[in-house]
Every structure is written in C-alpha cells, then in structure tokens.
Amino acid sequence: MSSKAAEDVSNIWDSPTHPSYFLPSSANQSLLSPSFIVHHYAPMKKKPQASTFNIIPPLFPFLLLLPMAASDPIHDTYLQCLSRHSQSSPSIPPISTLTFFPTSPSYSSILQAYIRNLRFNSSTTPKPLFILTPTHLSHIQASIICCADHGLQMRLRSGGHDYDGLSYVSKLPFIILDMFQFRSVLINWEDETAWVDSGATIGELYYKIAEKSRIHAFPAGVCPTVGVGGHFSGAGYGNLLRRFGLTVDHVVDAKIVDANGRVLDRESMGEDLFWAIRGGGGGSFGVVVSWKIKLVRVPEIVTVFRVEKTLEQNATEIVYQWQHVADKMDKDLFMRLVIMPVSKKKTIRAKFVALFLGNAEKLLDEMSERLPELGLKKEECIEMSWIESVLYWSNYPLGTSLDVLLERQPSSEKFLKRKSDYLQKPVSKEDLEGIWKKMIELGKPVLNLNPYGGRMGEISEYETPFPHRAGNICKIQYSVNWKEEGDDAANKYLDLIRRLYDYMTPYVSELPRSSYVNYRDVDIGTNGDDGNASYEEASVWGTKYFKGNFDRLVEIKTRVDPNNFFRYEQSIPSLASWRSIMSE
C-alpha cells in the first residue's frame, strides 16, 4: 500500500462523522467486522455506554446557536426519551443540543435550509414537531426508538431534493431526521473506493475526487446540490450513464440503521436488504448513513457541446433522427435533448447537450456518421477535464472555480413539478409536430430526454430494484418551474404539466406506464396520508417505478420492517403491517 493510500484508508475510520468513528477504542481491531457492528448496537433498549473519544463534530455555523430549552412538557417528554437512548460524552454532543423545536430560534432556518421546492415552503405547509440533526449513530438510533414509542412519523432528509417534498412534509404528526451533518467523503486511492455519507452532496463527492485525480469520476447526477442519501437510494443517474450505468451499479457496501435501531453493513444486513436499498427508493428500509462506492476511470480529456435548433432550423427532422440513434451511439457519448416551447414566437427550441469521453476529433467523427442532421461544428466542441464538464453541465461559465461544487444552496429556488416517462419507440414526424403544437399551446412545460442504451442495456432489470434497463430509447422528464406564489398559480402549472403528460400517453411505455422513483411524482398513486396501504393500493404506483421488482421489495420490507415504521405516501408497504391493521 502506498503511503498516500494508507493515509486515506486510515482517514476512513478516523472521520468524526464516519459511522464507526465513535465505536469504543477497545474495538479498534474489529472495526471492520459486521458482527461487531450489530452486536454493539443492537438491540437499543438501554442507554449505551459513553464513547471514550474526545472529538467535537463539525457543526454548521447556525447550529452553534443552541436550541432553546424546551419548556413544553411534551417537548420534555421527547427530549427525555432521546437522551435516554443516545450517547453523550465530551466528544458527543448531547442530543438535546441537536434537537430543534419550533420555539428554537434556529428551527425555521434549519427547516428551510434543505427545502428545494418552494411549493412546500409556505405558512400552510405542515411543519415537523422537531428536527433532529444527528452527528452520531446513537442519535439516529434514539430518534427511531422514540418516534416508534410516541407514534410519530419520521421523515428522513439528506439533500432535500425530493420533487414532491416527501422528505420533509407529512400530514400526520412527524419529525425530520436531517442528515446534513453526516457528510464525510473518504477516498481510498489504493482500491479506488470511497465511503460517502448520506448528508454529503454529489458536488462534494465530485470535488473530493477532483482534488486528487483527473482520471477518476463517479457516475451520479448532474446537479451538484443533490443529496447522496436520497439520490443513491433511488438509483441515481447522470451523463456517465451510457458508459457506466447507474450510481447504484457502483455501490459495494453501505451502513444502515434499521427499524430496530440496529447498525448493519452489507454482510450483516444480507444481500436482499442490500439489493433493496440500491434503488428501491429512499425512506422505506432504514436510515442509510454511509455508502461505499467504487470510482470509475475517465480520460483526462473529455468533450462537451451545447447546440440549439428551432423548428425553422430543422429541429423536427433532427429530433426525429436523434430518437433513432441516441441509444445506439458510441457508449462514451451521452447526448441529452431538452425541448422547450418558445410561445411568443410560436416555435420549439431543441437543445442538444453532450458529454463525450474522448477528444473532439473522435466526437465529430461519431456525430457526422450518426447524426449528420445536427451539423455539429468543430468550434462548438470544447475539450476539458471531466470535473470541468461537471461545471459546464451545471451551466457555470468556463473557468469557474471548483469551489462552487461545495455550495449547498442552489443559485435560485423555484416552485416546481416533475413527472417522468420512458420512450421505447420513436415518435413519427407527424406526431412530433402534434407534440410541438401542444407544447406551444401549454406554453410552459419542458421535456428533458436522457438517452439510454450502452451499459444500461447490458445490465439485467433484476440486478437492482431499478428495472428500466434494455429496450428504452430514453427517459423523459416533464418539467415546469414558476415564480408566482399561491395555490392558484400552483394549480395552473400543475394542470399544464399534467395535460402534457396525458397528451404523451400514446407515445410512451405502457403496461405499466413507467416512471423513475427519483423523479418523485405523487400523481401516479400513493399509500394515502398515513403511509399504510394494501399491496394492491401500493402496487398502482409501485409497479410504475419498479415493475416486476416491486414484489421483491414488498417481500423484503415485510421481513425487515414488518411494523412499517418507515412509511410515507410512497414507501414500500409491509404485508404484515397491513394484515394486522385489517384484523383490528
């Protein structure tokens, strides 16, 4: 092992926010042993022994404001429970200092810090009874035990990018377990793996990789502020998809706190649960604290381009041809297509945005052979490193410092709605013209087409819960953003995007009409407000996200969380819980 690698490996287990950091020092020799992990943390009914470590975990500046002492007797009851079930020592802050009730001056700023959809940031949006911001595993364990004891729903939040706000809103009494302080990224360069905490953003992960290497990368999302916790839980994809597949295709281990408060890793959780957490959707199986990933290698030079064409510039013909080649081109090429109405001019703009894992010359050859209709020119291609392409894809000007990847707040907040579909056969030119007409009429919704094929076609649909592999030309994201406040505006824009979705019915996958779980969409069905649903009710939305894998997810959920502790509007249902409700 090189000294550099050795240094990084030791870091993995020395991070203040790493799950194993707080394990007693006597256990150092067996830190890697899963049996150690389960044995020392389960069952969590008694107060565990205090750790002997002497560390102060990193806190957000605003957390230095200590929560106001809870004077309400109900708050006291919760705090007593949380304190009873968690550790506290000179190195582990008491859980009371990490628990924020509405009376705390920091409550609103912490709540709002990770709301990424303004639709769920109004005075009428239901608010949590308290927000817990754990820095230690026992804080997570205590939150699970105390929520179960007091019949509270728990919402799990990492980056807060859930499109329908399900990580921080519930109609029933609830708390938020906000993971943003669990955010270390520790890379082992020797075996090209990393442990990434759920509260890290993918931008922070990319930054850490680029700090040391120009030839390593990780296949995850395009937007740097997305949280690792939810993104990995829902499969995750980005512009390396055609070459490397999904994010979860590169997860090799994980640490999770389950519904019994046990800390498990891959070996101790078993292959079924490990399968389920890699794409079965967040918040159903436990709190994933940390993920071990395998990095991928990319060339030192990659090439990007962004080219726009309107209808007057032959967009219909180019889009038509794009459908025939986008999933069949060189797997090193990912060419996204964004289609938007320009209502004032009564036209459509088709934007082609690409990442090619190679130089401009090779890209031009591929494009002139496969999609000559686009007429790509040499001056439209820009060569750069992979990490620079990450910034380019996030619309930062060339030359922007990599430090922007560490910013956790997006440049602007929006009201928004997203929906998704899968395209399996090309749409005719005549029908494309009908879609354009509809988009111009609706004026606002945008279509984002992300090509599949390549590596995606080589992996079985049963390998992970994410089933949309071979046979898809592309995934379609329907997108609408708006700035106006209030229900009237929201209803207007929701109606527009739903009308476009309805219009697209004849052209997209059917039986089931499929959706991507990370593009959360409660329109396709829910478990109801209390999160308890029968198999039949849940399978309405479940088969759209997971197709045949839904049954395996339900079977695993019934085994690992029979009481359905981890539940919400689109959580995987537990058959045991449903049977017991029915027999009451």
Ligand X SMILES: Cc1cc2nc3c(=O)[nH]c(=O)nc-3n(C[C@H](O)[C@H](O)[C@H](O)COP(=O)(O)OP(=O)(O)OC[C@H]3O[C@@H](n4cnc5c(N)ncnc54)[C@H](O)[C@@H]3O)c2cc1C
Give the type of residue at 433. E
User: Least distance (Å) from ligand X to the CB of residue 430?
Assistant: 32
- 533 near ligand X, rule: CB under 6 A: no
Give the type of residue at 494. L
**Counts for the chain of helices (H) and strands (E), in that order:** 17, 18
- 238 near ligand X, rule: CB under 6 A: yes
Partners of 308 in beta bridges: 351
Residue 468 burial by Cβ neighbours in a 10 Å radius (0-12, 13-18, 19+): buried
The correct pick among 189, 237, 422, 452 for binding ligand X (CB under 6 A) is 237
DSSP at 406? G
The values of phi and psi at residue 490, to 5°, are -60, -45
The correct pick among 205, 288, 435, 560 for binding ligand X (CB under 6 A) is 288
% helix, strand, coil for the chain, step of 5: 40, 20, 40
CB closer to ligand X, 161 vs 292: 161
- 222 near ligand X, rule: CB under 6 A: yes
| Whole-number Cα distances in Å, 483 to 118, 394, 413, 418 | 9, 21, 9, 15
DSSP at 312? G
Q: Residue of minimal CB distance from ligand X?
A: 282
User: Least distance (Å) from ligand X to the CB of residue 11?
Assistant: 21
User: Least distance (Å) from ligand X to the CB of residue 361?
Assistant: 28
CB closer to ligand X, 263 vs 367: 263
The correct pick among 231, 255, 468, 567 for binding ligand X (CB under 6 A) is 231
User: Least distance (Å) from ligand X to the CB of residue 50?
Assistant: 25
Q: What residues contact 304, with CB distance under 8 A and at least 6 apart?
A: 353, 354, 355, 356, 381, 382, 384, 389, 392, 393
- Measure the CA dihedral 218/118/529/570, to 10°: -20
CB closer to ligand X, 41 vs 163: 163
User: Least distance (Å) from ligand X to the CB of residue 450?
Assistant: 8
Spell out, one character per residue from 133 to 162, where the chain touches ligand X: x when CB under 6 A holds, - when not. Answer: -----------------------xxxxxxx
User: Least distance (Å) from ligand X to the CB of residue 240?
Assistant: 11
Distance CA 67, CA 405 (A): 30
User: Least distance (Å) from ligand X to the CB of residue 179?
Assistant: 5
- 219 near ligand X, rule: CB under 6 A: no
In the numeric block, the tokens 């056969």 are attached to: 425
Do 497 and 446 touch, CB atoms closer than 8 A?
Answer: no
- 282 near ligand X, rule: CB under 6 A: yes
Do 303 and 262 touch, CB atoms closer than 8 A?
Answer: no
User: Least distance (Å) from ligand X to the CB of residue 152?
Assistant: 15
CB closer to ligand X, 198 vs 321: 198
- 420 near ligand X, rule: CB under 6 A: no
Residue 511 burial by Cβ neighbours in a 10 Å radius (0-12, 13-18, 19+): exposed
Partners of 349 in beta bridges: 310, 340
> Which range binds ligand X by CB under 6 A, 137-145, 233-241, 313-321, 494-502?
233-241
The correct pick among 67, 128, 227, 454 for binding ligand X (CB under 6 A) is 227
The correct pick among 57, 203, 234, 454 for binding ligand X (CB under 6 A) is 234
User: Least distance (Å) from ligand X to the CB of residue 389?
Assistant: 14
- Site residues for ligand X, 186-205, by CB under 6 A, read 198
Contacts within 8 Å (CB) and 24+ apart, 244-248: 244/219, 244/296, 244/455, 245/219, 245/455, 245/456, 245/458, 245/459, 246/219, 246/279, 246/456, 246/464, 246/466, 247/218, 247/219, 247/220, 247/221, 247/293, 248/278, 248/279, 248/464, 248/466
Q: What residues contact 271, with CB distance under 8 A and at least 6 apart?
A: none
The correct pick among 104, 181, 233, 321 for binding ligand X (CB under 6 A) is 233
The values of phi and psi at residue 357, to 5°, are -85, 70
Do 77 and 146 touch, CB atoms closer than 8 A?
Answer: no
CB closer to ligand X, 63 vs 390: 390
H helices of 313-453, in order, are 315-325, 360-370, 386-393, 429-442
User: Least distance (Å) from ligand X to the CB of residue 421?
Assistant: 15
- Site residues for ligand X, 322-351, by CB under 6 A, read none
Partners of 254 in beta bridges: 291
Q: How far is CA 496 from the centre of its chain?
A: 26
- 166 near ligand X, rule: CB under 6 A: yes
CB closer to ligand X, 283 vs 525: 283
CB closer to ligand X, 168 vs 356: 168
DSSP at 459? S
H helices of 421-482, in order, are 429-442
User: Least distance (Å) from ligand X to the CB of residue 515?
Assistant: 12
User: Least distance (Å) from ligand X to the CB of residue 93?
Assistant: 20
The correct pick among 19, 128, 224, 236 for binding ligand X (CB under 6 A) is 236
Distance CA 229, CA 198 (A): 4
CB closer to ligand X, 100 vs 320: 100
- Site residues for ligand X, 364-393, by CB under 6 A, read none
The correct pick among 57, 229, 341, 453 for binding ligand X (CB under 6 A) is 229
The correct pick among 203, 283, 445, 453 for binding ligand X (CB under 6 A) is 283
Distance CA 536, CA 527 (A): 10
CB closer to ligand X, 79 vs 131: 131
Distance CA 414, CA 354 (A): 25
> Which range binds ligand X by CB under 6 A, 22-30, 211-219, 283-291, 380-388?
283-291
The correct pick among 75, 116, 216, 331 for binding ligand X (CB under 6 A) is 116
The correct pick among 146, 179, 259, 497 for binding ligand X (CB under 6 A) is 179
CB closer to ligand X, 36 vs 466: 466
What residue ranges bind ligand X (CB under 6 A)? 116, 156-163, 166-167, 179, 198, 221-223, 226-227, 229-231, 233-234, 236-238, 282-283, 287-288, 518
